[in-house]
Amino acid sequence: MKKIKNIHFVGIKGVGMTPLAIVAKEAGFEVTGSDINEEFITDKALQKVNIAPLVGFSRSNIDESDLVITTGAHGGFDNPEVLEAKERNIPVWTQGQAVGEFMKGDVFGKNFMGISIAGSHGKTTTAAMIATILKDGNLDPSYIIGTSEIASLGLPGHLGKGKYFIAEADEYATEPQYDKTPKFLWQHPEILVITNIELDHPDLFENVEILRRDFLSFANANPKKLLIICGDDGENKKLINDFSGNKITYGFSPTNDYSIEKFKEDNRESFFWVNSRGTSLGEFVLNLPGEFNALNALASVIAGIETGLSIEKVKAGIKNYKGAKRRFEYIGRLASGALLFDDYAHHPTEIRKTLKAFHENYNNKKIVCIFQPHTYSRTKALFDDFLKAFSNADAVVVSDIYPSLREEKDESVSSKILVNKMSAYHNNVEYLPSVRDVVEYISENQFDDNYVIITMGAGDIYKINEKLITKI
């Protein structure tokens, strides 16, 4: 491969692509990118590093490129820019491959120690926590985190001077049509965190057994790596039984190597006490609620300790973590008085745990959840689980399904059908297809300070928040 000077990103606004582009920019490469003409959550992040995406996809966009990095969306390998690159013998990397190559460090003239965070839920939060701990511990890590903004870090990508490279490890396909290899298999970390294993991509994995097999392959890929894994999770337990390498387990159960022996939360803060193999590590303070976030924090604590940081520095790093974009994010207070939050939860388990945390932290208020299902395949495969996931909400509003660019419409499933079935489990659920309908619903109800409103989902439901703040 000739020396790389110019890197072009196809679908640069994706949450997995933007941090890659930022790292490449910080490394001194000329960075260009293209995407559709639509508002994305990553727009501001790209603006901050002076990257202006080209609108649309054209073969001429890669004229100066030495390397093209593409996402699975926007046609994947069939995207005209990718096709042009291949015809010109310009190297093409997928997003997953690029994360693996960046982690190796050769493209930057470095040799990193990789820290990968895998799991069906909690990857972004855990990766951001670990990056915060290492940054505050003066280790200046590099990182690629799949969001747009992290309060304690700023941008979601960074090329540090330190030896650690932190990255989310996504189990989705490298290229959905042509290469079903899970993206995380491109990474070769020395520390691997697995938070949990649950079927979240039914369009790719036929069942959870196949999914667990791929996680095990990832764990076994580097026999020298350290596996940090939640020992409370059912599928994780099965993986642990099949894994013979070096591992550290964590969870609430005292049978784990690191266990949370006491947990409490108050006013969106969590307090938990950790025992490590019979030795108390004392109290940890986290500026996020929910037992699931305490588990994410504990995994991050262990990773920080394994890098050589003191318990005191690890505690300070965790306390300094203030959350990431679209993760239990406080948006503001509506003119009518209600508190407005936004969250990325899109899987029944995530929804259930997130709403439970809201209910426990705001038990004197009524919870209104504005939910946008994400993808026809997930909604269909987990349909029955969705029906029962909203028990901690006092009112539920469901908008139309946000489809993936990788799938075709499935007429056999819809939000309207979901709401009709959900009414057997919830006495206050309503189908409102559009953003306009939802805004009108909230305006008409004039929810006062006795209410908490949460927009929830992996699509574009977050865009409603500006309209709500403006209108009400």
Residue 7 lies in a domain: yes
Same domain, 207 and 308: yes
Q: Give the domain-ending residue among 290, 320, 350.
A: 320
Residue 98 lies in a domain: no
Same domain, 333 and 316: no
Q: Quote the percentage of the chain above a pLDDT of 90.
A: 86
CATH number, domain at 279? Answer: 3.40.1190.10
Same domain, 288 and 160: yes
Residue 102 lies in a domain: no
Could you report the per-residue pLDDT of 89-105, keeping only the tens digit for each? 999 999 999 999 999 99
Is residue 1's pLDDT more than 70? no
Residue 106 lies in a domain: no
CB atoms within 10 A of CB 350: 21
Same domain, 179 and 56: no
Query: Does the pTM of the predicted model rise above 0.85?
Result: yes
Res. 454 pLDDT band, cuts 50 70 90: very high
Could you report the per-residue pLDDT of 110-140, keeping only the tens digit for each? 999 999 999 999 999 999 999 999 999 999 9
Q: Give the domain-ending residue among 295, 320, 345.
A: 320
Domain count, the chain: 3
Same domain, 84 and 121: no
Residue 385 lies in a domain: yes
Same domain, 316 and 343: no
Same domain, 171 and 221: yes
157, 18 in Cβ contact below 8 A?
Answer: yes
Is residue 155's pLDDT more than 90? yes
Q: Which residue has the higher pLDDT, 327 or 309?
A: 309
Same domain, 250 and 147: yes
Residue 103 lies in a domain: no
- The domain in which residue 61 lies consists of 1-93
Rounded mean pLDDT, 446-450: 94
Q: Quote the percentage of the chain above a pLDDT of 70.
A: 99
DSSP assignment of 310-356 = -HHHHHHHHHH---BTTSSEEEEE-TTS-EEEEE---SHHHHHHHHH
Residue 100 lies in a domain: no
The amino acid occupying position 242 is D
CATH number, domain at 449? Answer: 3.90.190.20
CB atoms within 10 A of CB 222: 17
Same domain, 140 and 78: no
Helix, strand, coil shares, percent, the chain, to 5: 35, 25, 40
The sign of the dihedral angle between the CA atoms of 182, 185, 186, 191 is positive
Same domain, 274 and 134: yes
